[in-house]
Structure 1
Amino acid sequence: MIEKIEVRKVGSCFDDNGITLSDLRNVNFIYGANGSGKTTISKIISKPSSFSVCKVTWKNNTDLKSVVYNGNFINENFYQSTDIKGIFTLGKESHDAQKEIAFKKCEIDKISDEIIKLTQTLEQKKNESITNENEYEENCWKIKQKYDQSFQDAFSGFRNSKRSFKEKCKQESKNTEQLFTYDELKTQSNVIFGSIKEKISTLRKINYEDLNKIESDPILCAKIIGSEDVDISGLIKRLNNSDWVKQGYEYYKLSDGICPFCQQQTGEDLRTQLEEYFNDTYNQQTEKVKILIQGYLAFVDSALLQIASILSNGNQFLDSTMIEQQERLIEAKYQTNRTRLDGKIKELSNCIKLDSLINEFNIIHETINSANKKIVDHNNLIDNIAQRKKILISQIWRFVATENSINYKRYLEKHNSYEKAIIGINGTLQTKYTAQKRINGEIQEIESKITSIVPTITEINKILTSFGFLSFKLIEANERGYYKIIRDNGENAKDTLSEGEKTFITFLYFYHLLKGSNDADTITTDKIVVFDDPISSLDSSVLFIVSNLIRGLIDDVRAAKGYIKQVFILTHNIYFHKEVSFCKNRSGTNKLCDETFWILRKKGSISQIESYESNPIKTSYELLWQELKYHTERNAITIQNTMRRIIENYFKILGHLGDDDLINKFDSEERVICRSLMSWINDGSHFVNDDLYVDSSPDTIAKYLKVFEKIFELTENAGHYKMMMGNIDLKLPTV
């Protein structure tokens, strides 16, 4: 079942801090006004994966199927199709099969308990194995710290990580190199590592093969002007102002035929001549200039970055001074060339010549070649003693492994023991999972042979008839496994039901779905049930029945009967909350060990939640009297329950008087009537699905109300009766 729900930044009610419902039990009551976020909580329980910022924590990390009654359920199961998908049940005719399924469910529950215990043991062994690893790691690190100063070159690559040093120690435990003393190894290390340096990578060369081609491209000196075949070209050529005209032409294209210089309207001929003057050839040459300049700038910028990278490397064989000198020359020429290129872009008719950078790059190239030659010589020198260094490092690790041998032996014994246990537990778990899967398959096979939707149709129709819903009923649809709602004349009633009728039949559908399934293979699946405001659009009589149905489910959960393991009830209706949360086994106001109470309320626009040690929506004694006082304005079906609750609260709980004590207060002639009252209110206050009937006529109610009043008179509590009834004359007949 669910142990904790964390709601964060979802919907309009919850911010980054959100709310947390922790230490959840089998039965959980959540009261909150409309708009406080109850439906959001029900949706999170229904499908936690759809809310990435929220979290649902399951007991033993075992998630169960969530079945939620809310607006989404009504829409998905009632409004979307002409027929309603049937609920498969095991049926009354399959008693032996049900017993067999119950037995197999017990087997599964037993296996599940064993899996939980095995999982806990597995986790314990894994934790012990981790502790063993950590202890060995610390022992290895102590040795590293002891010899780090002397053998830091041999420890290179493992000095900054405890884990990597530990793994290296494991690897070297089988080292068979010749064993030397610490003093011998230290002397050899000073000689070999003291004068030897690491190999150095050669420097990367700068590729400038295309630079000369860019610098000498004829386009830079080309005089790019418009076509000379146009009449206007003569004037432009004589004035030598092609670039100025080009700029004006760009403005002219935006001025809707008005000259940008003289502000006068021009003819279409001028536009045509300008378009022909600045033709495709002109545009192609212009684009070529731009591409050339972009390539030049990109190359030099990249080359300068490479030069900076080479200098930052700090290579001992590189003439950095020479490189820096060429770098400064390149940067100076580059700035000059950029200015010339900017001028070319602005006035394409100009001829420019770039200061060449070839000489500087040639010098840099030669300097890098010289350094690389020295690096190759250096690396060749190192290769001659690399083998000796390799042997010395291996000898040092042999020394470390020998000193660490006792620690390693102790570690290895524990490690092998834990690994053997973990492998064994995993094997047993796999066997349990296989058995669990096999038994589930057997249950599904039994279910598939005996499941039917007929018992559900019968039960729902029986309840509808019992509560006066006589104008419609359920029948099997033509499509196997579906229901249809019809009127008495056989017409489809689905689209003509009132909101109250839709709500009630949808709730009954959900109620029976809890006892069965839409899928014939998953009837006996363990589940969590959420009721999100199930009494909207219902009158008081239906509210009373819904609360009794839910209370019956809660009783089954508390008794561990059936396949419902946890219940959440979310409501904004105070009367419904009191009815559904009523439990005669609750001592005083304190909550039972298997239930929680919460109030969800808004502070500003953000919802907050608070848990309570007792039911915060108290069983209001005054509310019961109010129900009695105005019984003629409300449905008669609740009056028996109201009378019973008043007598229980006032006489049985506070006065410690039982039914017989009250009955004996009457004379022998009236005693029969009082006993009849007690039977009547007790029978009418408990709902039994199979035997439900309603026979509460006004005369019957009036008769028993008078007996009810006389109980207070005979027990010397007439003053209390008058105070609670507010001196209202009920105009009851004399008994």
Structure 2
Amino acid sequence: MIESISIQGVASFQNPTPVSLNINKKVVLFYGHNGTGKSTVARYLQDTTHNNYSNCSYVLPNAQDYQILVYNTDFVEKNFSQDSFEGVFTLGETNVTAEQAISAAEEEISKLEEQRTQKQTLKKQHEDKEVVQVKAIKDKCFETKKEHDKKDLDHCLTKFKASASAFYDELLRTDLIEVPEYTFESLATESKELNSKSAVPKSMIPNVLLNLASSESNTILAEVIVGSSESYLAELVKKLQNFTWVDKGRIYLDDAEGKCPFCQQAIDEDLIENINNLFDESYKRKKDELKALKSAYEQSIETLNEVLSATHYTDLNDTKFDLAKEKLSSVLQANHTKLGQKLADPSIKVILEPTSNLVQALNDIINDKNASRIAFNAKLSKKKDSLAAIKKKFWSLVRIKYDAAIKAHDTLIESIKTDIEKVKGEEEALTIAIQAQNDVIVENRKLITNIETSVININNQIKSIGLEGFEIKQKPEESNHYYLCRGVSSSGHKVYKSLSEGEKTLITYLYFLELCQGSVNSNFSTPKNKKIIVVDDPISSLSHNYIYEIGALTHKRLIRGYQYAQVILLTHSLYYLHEMMKYLPSNPQDFGRKCNLFRVLKNTNSNILPMEKGEIKNDYQSYWQIIKDAQNGITNNIVLPNIMRNILEYYFSFVHKTDALKAALDELEETDSEFSPFFRFINRESHSDSVNITDLGEIDSDRFINKFKDVFIKTQFEEHYDKMMST
């Protein structure tokens, strides 16, 4: 059966979004007034491939197995515009062997179709699994978009933000490369710098100029500096290793007043002279050299500290540079301390740690920074190309990030596709087997089908519904065609054109019902359980008596036993709708299981809404429903005057208050000149002067409904108005 229909871009279905319906029940009923769009649905199902319906669609599994038969004005015109119409081949004379073969084939088809349905269900499960897996991998990869959206790498996502599918497709187009030296973080930093509003070419950082190699390797540092050996004290001082102590103490001799500054014993001039003789000019010169060396070293350190305090160094914010600077400073300070120690005690040996390698380490970092700045300046000069290069690197990183997930996904999808292809093959084999059984049915039907049986059936139905004087006959010169006769001697020439609309409807509908049972093709007949029957308003020109007959025939020949795949009925008549509802399950659960009910509405465009069984009203209630629809904006306001007039005529005639109605209308017309045309129109009764409606201009539903309510208030029937508008 048809599971769903989507209507768009044809007739009054012109909304930007399609009208989509789930109609997957055995019996589907559409109710709506004339002009709302019911016939468009029927015509679409009659010819789904027509260009008019290019934006429409329907879901019918194994559609090739089904036949859709539509009864509407187009069917009548096509089949009865000439004096003869095609015969319907139905089962006729008994042939036990052929009937048994057909029965066996139909039973086998039923089994095969059940198996095929199982395969189709399994295939659908595999396909759904594939869809889920594809969505999962796309969503997983799309998480990267969320990580970088509206951040420094946002420009890499341009054109790929709105769709996970587009994002994934771009990812698959990206070549997989070896692990690169760049990262998301480095690319983000580069992008941020390039995209900064204040981005300007960067200046170079000067190298640190510090060369202390000669000072640090000076031989005097390893020299043991002692006093002269000419003093008789030299051997003793040397033996005691206290040259430095004596040198420091001799400055006190001048103030010692002839006493030793250490032991306070009397000391003569000869001893003082020999003490001073220990420290000759050579000693003094070397000590001055040490002082100069230490002073120069201190000056170099101070100069370096001033240099490194410049902004182009302090703004680097580089941990490696800071550590290298700290290490150099530490070594310089240690060397300075050693120089102080040597100056304090020239007799000791000191070794200074070389700093040239530490200075070079600083300059190496600076050179790297300068190289980066040169590269940045070059990129900034070609910003567009630079950002494009970053984007390419970004996608390569994303591709690497999800490579394992993509490979696992591809393996899984390959397995699922293998399962799908296997089930497809099994499904196709079952379809071939079903077609073989259909061929058996076709061959055996040829043995027992004829058009005589359908002639008898149609003529019997014509008589049963009281159409006297008509019958269907086979055309002598065209044995597979009928013609319609009026009277025994009639040749059938132009008889159809002379029929009333009601007679045409009855006869053509009887023919259609017979066609549903058989086929106009003697070589092929679709089984009933593969036929979808669509009936569009078969009672438009019939009296209530015939509506009853059509309803009964529809139930008996189309619905009872649910022998057809699906029956879709469309009508504007509440009487006919109520008649059909009598034959359908009364229990709401049973009704909901087998039947679908829809209401067709039209304001500017048509719309179709689900409808509950309890919502079906009588004609009077239906008029009130239209008032409420207009109030809610789901039907066109232009129908309001006519509907309101019908309600007022019906109700006030029923309660025998037509005089009160006329008096109320006259009074309201006198007190509200703006609505005079409206009151004049609804006060004219029935349809005596429908031209008057053109005086009404644009109809404001709220204002007209308020005036309509005033009529009931004036006549003291406001309670009835409130009840009908609330139900």
TM-score band, normalised by shorter chain: 0.3 to 0.5
**Which structure has the bigger radius of gyration?**
2
Normalised by the length of structure 2, the TM-score is: 0.46
